[in-house]
Chains A and B, each alone.
Chain A
Amino acid sequence: MDLKRINRLITIMEEENLAELEIEDEDFKVKIAKPQAGSIIESKSSTHKSKVLSTKKIPIKKFEGKEVFKLTSPMVGFFYLSQTPRSPHYVNVGDKVLPTQIVCAIEVMGVVNEIEAKVAGKIKKILVEDGQPVEYGQPLFLIEPEEKEK
């Protein structure tokens, strides 16, 4: 790698006030990009249609002496345990779930987003009451993961 050349390119980027620079010739190819803090770009995760979203992180926590997964809310909204007030709950404590199984719904601006369990296991605890507001990252369920191959 030609560090001098890269440094020179960064200087050009600064001077020209460029957000991104891509150069390619026979033996050299580089792309440099600056993070764009505060720039106004529409959010990619805008949800106007109902769709299934899942959390990125699955933090592990101790519960009743066992290691459990903490399923957190990927969005701000109202938390629902069933599709409609009259329909049965998606899951109940003690139920076994699969990673793609819907466990709850979160309503954002009138749009219902169904949330997946993310892991295979057993629902140990439901941490939010039906109809309550939740914030991003708020723990929703504790799920005891299925034992892997014995």
Chain B
Amino acid sequence: MSFKKILVANRGEIAVRIIRAAKELGIRTVAVYSEVDRNSLHLQFADEAVCIGPAPSQESYLNIPQIISAALITGVEAIHPGYGFLAENAKFAEICESHKISFIGPNSQTITKMGDKIEARRIMKHAGIPIIPGSTKPVESLKDALRIIEKIDYPIIIKAAAGGGGKGVRIVWSRDKLERALEVASAEANASFKNPTLYIERYLHEPRHIEIQILADNYGNVIHLGERECSIQHRHQKLIEESPSPAVDDRLRAKMGEAALKAAKAVKYSNVGTVEFLLDKSKNFYFIEMNTRIQVEHPVTETVTGIDLVKEQILLASGKKIRSQFSKKDINLRGHAIECRINATDPDNGFSPCSGKIHSLILPSGIGVRIDTHLYPGYTVPPNYDSLIAKIITYGLTREEAIARMKRALEECVIEGIKTTIPFHQKVLTHDAFKKGEIHTHFLPYVINV
């Protein structure tokens, strides 16, 4: 049974992306929007649109009763949550389930398990997947922390159990800074997630962030679609992603892929998901977390595999099996893809957000260039939401070609009216270490002053 009509509970480029996938599948779409998004592109592309509240996310895109109500009045069979907002909200998934609306993603129990990072670590350790040495229980006191640090030594990283987006994260290099770091991290975790629970891991020196994309159907079949390297980050926010990773060869890919499949099976995962690992300099990899949603950087995997992940998401949620042509031997990573996130932020000013009107807009095109965006000339970027305004993805037969093409694309790109991350990307792409593929998650300070 395939869906006839779905609601897209998101905005911006990902809402546009999801509507495109639905259209190609012949599925009607309902967009939801806040008052400030009245002139947003996703409304234009959808078959129907429902205003769900005023600008603040808490009153619109995070407002569960309004979104469910919009689904009920439009009679949709499923809701696609996109990423961010309600995408990893187990309660929302549960409410959808109780209203007989399919949540396009895994079930609410899986989201709950993977949303609790301590629980996720425990499950993965139990399944035999390497995790970063550290706590497998909540750290509730200084004494707890000291007991763990005795085994793993400084530097350590404190993280929030309900974590995400770098909130509640602190790196501690010595004993004298520990107590205060625990206090601040706990307060921040409580403010961001209403949950002060923390855990501790050994802090790895300049690791790479490598993640494996998986596809799972409702019948226990799971496949992986290779890796993405997302090491270029600013405060745990990814800025450049690529596939394949310059650090991963066929053997390591097979090993990491196997671990990701094991991770998915350990939680009886269904739908599209990502298993994130850190890779150290000796090529040891460690599970860090599992993301139970479509990710911002999914287009690099789509580019090298030729598989439309959002379409697969919708089909899997409607009960389809993984297609037989996706069997292992047919999925090769062909060529190389890179994505640069164009954010409305000022890289010369600590990546602080910039909102405002786009006076003129010229988007790059030509061979091997894909743009995912909700921008149009005259559009005003509101200050209320995430700063991502466009993603440029380039393809090349080799990494060199993909980089050269990205440089060319960034040069063609004109976004007038607001500051963007384009100048930052241009710096990274010409950096020697980046060109050699010698990157890691602490790479940024080598390129720019942050």
List chain A positions with a Cβ less than 8 A from chain B: 14, 16-20, 35-48, 75-78, 108-109, 111, 133-138
Contact = CB atoms under 8 A, between A and B. Distances in A.
A46 B70 CA distance: 14
Contact of A38 (B51, B54, B73, B386): B386
Contact of A77 (B69, B167, B350): B69
Contact of B385 (A20, A37, A108): A37
Contacts of A75: 65-66, 69
B120 to A, nearest CB: 17
Interface residues of B, number: 41
B69 A17 contact: no
10 contacts: A18-B184, A19-B192, A36-B192, A38-B385, A40-B85, A45-B59, A76-B50, A76-B70, A76-B73, A109-B65
Indicate the member of B53, B69, B166, B194 with the most A CB atoms within 10 Å. B69
Contacts of B72: 77, 109
Interface of B: 35, 50-54, 57-60, 62-66, 68-70, 72-74, 84-86, 89, 99, 166-167, 184, 188, 191-194, 235, 350, 353, 383-386
Nearest to A74: B53
Nearest to A113: B65
A14 B350 contact: yes
Contacts of A18: 184, 188
Contact of A138 (B51, B54, B62): B51
Nearest to B169: A17
Contacts of A14: 350
Given A17-B166, A43-B59, A78-B73, A136 B84 contact: no
Given A37-B57, A37-B385, A109-B69, A135 B51 contact: yes
B69 A76 contact: yes
A45 B188 contact: no
Given A38-B85, A38-B386, A76-B52, A136 B66 contact: yes
Contacts of A38: 57, 84-85, 385-386
Contacts of B63: 43, 45-46
Given A46-B63, A76-B66, 15 more contacts: A17-B188, A17-B235, A18-B184, A18-B188, A35-B383, A38-B84, A38-B85, A41-B194, A47-B65, A75-B65, A76-B52, A76-B70, A136-B50, A136-B51, A137-B35
A20 B35 contact: no
A18 to B, nearest CB: 7
A17 B185 CA distance: 10
Given A37-B386, A137-B35, A19 B65 contact: no
A100 B385 CA distance: 35
Contacts of A39: 57, 192
Chain A interface secondary structure, helix, strand, loop or mixed?
loop
A108 B64 CA distance: 11
8 nearest A-B pairs in the assembled complex, by CB-CB distance: A133-B73, A76-B69, A43-B63, A135-B51, A108-B69, A136-B51, A135-B50, A77-B69
A91 B407 CA distance: 65
Nearest to A20: B191
Nearest to B95: A109
A137 B66 contact: no
Nearest to A106: B69
B81 to A, nearest CB: 12
Contacts of B167: 17
Contact of A136 (B52, B74, B385): B52
Given A76-B52, A136-B52, A46 B74 contact: no
A38 B350 CA distance: 19
Contacts of A108: 65-66, 69
A135 B350 contact: no
Given A14-B350, A76-B70, A135 B52 contact: yes
A65 B320 CA distance: 59
Contacts of B58: 41-44
A79 to B, nearest CB: 10
A123 B115 CA distance: 50
Contact of A109 (B50, B53, B68, B188): B68
A109 B99 CA distance: 9
Contacts of B386: 37-38
A136 B53 contact: yes
Indicate the member of A36, A78, A111, A138 with the most B CB atoms within 10 Å. A36
A18 B189 CA distance: 11
Contacts of B57: 37-39
B65 A46 contact: yes
A37 B73 contact: no
Given A17-B166, A38-B57, A133 B194 contact: no
Contact of B188 (A19, A44, A46, A135): A19
A31 to B, nearest CB: 14
Contacts of A109: 65, 68-69, 72, 99
Contacts of A35: 383-384
Given A37-B384, A40-B89, A77-B73, A46 B193 contact: no
Contact of A137 (B51, B192, B350): B51
Contacts of A134: 73
